[in-house]
Amino acid sequence: MTVYAAPGTPGSKVTFKSRYENWIGGEWVAPVKGQYFEDITPVTGKPFAEVARGTAEDIDLALDAAHKAAPAWGKTSPAERAAVLNKIADIIDANVEMLAVAETWDNGKAVRETINADIPLAADHFRYFASAIRAQDGDHAQLDGDTVSYQFHEPLGVVGQIIPWNFPILMAVWKLAPALAAGNAVVLKPAEQTPVSILVLMELIGDILPPGVVNIVNGFGLEAGKPLASSNRIRKIAFTGETTTGRLILQYASANIIPSTVELGGKSPNIFFSDVAQEKDAFYDKAQEGFVLFAFNQGEVCTAPSRALLQKPIYDSFLADAVIRAKKIIQGNPLDTDTQMGAQASNDQLEKILSYIDIGTKEGAILALGGERADLGGDLTGGYYVQPTIFEGHNKMRLFQEEIFGPVLAVTSFIDYDDAISIANDTIYGLGAGVWSRNGNVAYRAGRDIQAGRVWVNNYHAYPAGAAFGGYKSSGIGRENNKLALGHYQQTKNLLVSY
């Protein structure tokens, strides 16, 4: 067990500045209007840094810098860009603990996640796209004796990116890595709830990139995000966030006829067929973990398995075991490596979660566990903690249909295979899903029949670089984490040449 010292206390891995500016053109630039907002750590509920409150004027400055940088960066070779991306990955790897503590302090999630997953994955995604761009081929076809059609990939130029607060560094990297690999210059707006850890990352990697290739403008959605997404000076907008915001982004983009990729919300079903409980062995244990742990690592994951579907014969026993297991979840100081469940990212999020617990109770769902704000005592009393919460109900309830984005698991039963698939697909979303069965045929078939961009079969919550990630239905348009994402940041040029 390690308990990392809180930033600002002796022995901490992180020293935050008291004030963060925007990163524009390779330097820290104060906001044009001179306004700042507070970044609050969910761990204690106290502010720890001031951050530039960007507006349309700052977005313009960043776009100036990006336009200046884009032509030269776009002309570098894939090998040159790959070298830069690999260097960034090396720096991230050399600073995993520091970045993990910064991320945990900014977002509230348990450090065992940031240190073992979020930050190492960020490095790996840079490496993946460094390889992917070097391996990307164009194509050509001899159309007749005299004519050849050549297809080339070109960078789009300057692109805008807007990200949410649930994986601040990793979400930034999912967007930056393919965009940079493809040769674009970027203006990125972090979420206002969690801007600082990305800026700490920029302190480490900012100088490796030519000035203006990556620009970070902080601020709120309408003040900084909208001017970026609706600017006619970007050639693409990439967005991750709520489905309602995604709709607005698509509207802004349509006015300028630019492509947009939107990674949106989810309400992922996690299906457990009866054979899972045929023995109480290692497989059963893994399935129990898949039911409990990934719903309760704060639950602020777009693919959180927030709807559990249990086949009738095992409903009571499997749920009873899961409740026992959920009671043992270690909720505590997010900077303690033993902690499995940390804080929710913001007070607004905490209140939203509590309001859904209220909604669930009012619509008649049965509370099987939790249901309240958690007071962890000491310095953590002001932090944003919610008990792991399990409700039993049916799929028509709001609890089962609306994204809560917190540690609230809605459980229901199903009769047979068709019933399971029908309940699973009865949602506007289609981002993630889980299937658990010892029967390979059933698991495979269900994996194919569920309408979701990612189905975990007999596992959950892994996001390896290379495995395409994105949504069906209202969960989004586009794919990340895979070489397919390069295409989202490239223009196709065709030369039709007669010899």
Place of tokens 């961009």: 453
Whole-angstrom distance, CA of residue 391 vs CA of residue 389: 7
| Contacting residue, 78, 241, 269, 305, with ligand NAD by CB under 6 A | 241
Say whether residue 22 binds ligand NAD (CB under 6 A).
Answer: no
Q: Per-residue x/- mask for ligand NAD, residues 105 to 144, rule CB under 6 A?
A: ----------------------------------------
**Is residue 165 part of the contact set for ligand NAD (CB under 6 A)?**
yes
> Using CB under 6 A, which of the segments 42-50, 70-78, 142-150, 218-226 binds ligand NAD?
218-226
Contact between 229 and ligand NAD (CB under 6 A)?
A: yes
Q: Does 164 bind ligand NAD (CB under 6 A)?
A: yes
Q: Which of 113, 223, 263, 480 is catalytic?
A: 263
Closer residue to ligand NAD, CB minimum distance, 245 or 333: 245
225 binding ligand NAD? (CB under 6 A): yes
Please name which of 424, 367, 370, 361 lies closest in space to residue 397, comparing C-alpha atoms. 361
405 is an interface residue for ligand NAD by CB under 6 A:
yes
Cβ at position 347, least distance to ligand NAD in Å: 13
Q: Which of residues 256-315 bind ligand NAD (CB under 6 A)?
A: 263-266, 302
* 388 token code pair: 């792991």
Q: Which residue among 213, 248, 319, 465 contacts ligand NAD (CB under 6 A)?
A: 248
Of 91, 76, 90, 104, the residue nearest 14 (C-alpha):
104
Q: Does 166 bind ligand NAD (CB under 6 A)?
A: yes
Is residue 221 a contact residue for ligand NAD (CB under 6 A)? Answer: yes
Q: How far, rounded to the nearest angstrom, does the alpha carbon of residue 461 sit from its chain's CA centroid?
A: 12
Q: Which of 109, 125, 226, 461 binds ligand NAD (CB under 6 A)?
A: 226
Tell me which stretch binds ligand NAD (CB under 6 A): 1-9, 61-69, 111-119, 468-476: 468-476
Which of these segments, 47-55, 103-111, 219-227, 456-464, binds ligand NAD (CB under 6 A)?
219-227
Which 312-371 positions form the footprint of ligand NAD (CB under 6 A)?
none
Indicate whether 39 belongs to the interface with ligand NAD (CB under 6 A): no
Task: Tell me whether residue 81 or residue 235 sits nearer to ligand NAD (CB atom).
Answer: 235
Binding residue for ligand NAD (CB under 6 A) from 161, 218, 245, 437?
Answer: 245
Return the exposure string of 57-94: e unless at least 16 CB atoms fall within 10 Å of the residue's CB, then b.
ebbbbbbbbbbbbbeebbebebeebbebbbebbebbbe
Q: Which residue in the block uniquely carries the two structure tokens 């086949």?
A: 311
189 near ligand NAD (CB under 6 A): yes
Query: What letter represents residue 462's amino acid?
Result: A
Q: Is residue 191 near ligand NAD by the rule CB under 6 A?
A: yes
Kindly give the pairing relationship between strand 22-24 and strand 366-369.
Answer: unpaired
Q: Which stretch binds ligand NAD (CB under 6 A): 52-60, 90-98, 111-119, 220-228?
A: 220-228
Please say which residue, 83 or 484, places its beta carbon nearer to ligand NAD.
484
Residue 447 in the binding site for ligand NAD (CB under 6 A): no
Q: Are 178 and 485 in contact (CB under 8 A)?
A: yes
CA distance 147 to 496: 7
Q: How far is the CB of 47 from ligand NAD (least distance, A)?
A: 18
Tell me which stretch binds ligand NAD (CB under 6 A): 24-32, 140-148, 222-230, 366-374.
222-230
**Whose Cβ is closer to ligand NAD: residue 157's or residue 406's?**
406
Q: Which lies closer to ligand NAD via its Cβ, residue 165 or residue 284?
A: 165
Alpha carbons 424 and 270: distance in angstroms, whole number: 8
Q: Are 306 and 271 in contact (CB under 8 A)?
A: no
Q: Indicate whether 175 belongs to the interface with ligand NAD (CB under 6 A).
A: no
Residue 270 beta carbon to ligand NAD: minimum distance, rounded to whole angstroms: 16
Angle 70-73-78 from CA coordinates, rounded to 5°: 140
Among 169, 431, 443, 450, the residue binding ligand NAD under the rule CB under 6 A is 431
- Report whether 235 contacts 158 (CB < 8 A): yes
CA-based nearest residue to 253, from 223, 285, 228: 228
Radius of gyration of the chain (CA): 23
Determine whether 192 is an active site residue. Answer: no
| Residues in contact with ligand NAD by the rule CB under 6 A | 162-166, 171, 189, 191-192, 220-222, 225-226, 229, 240-242, 245, 248, 263-266, 302, 403, 405, 431, 471, 475-476
Looking at the annotation, which residues are catalytic?
263
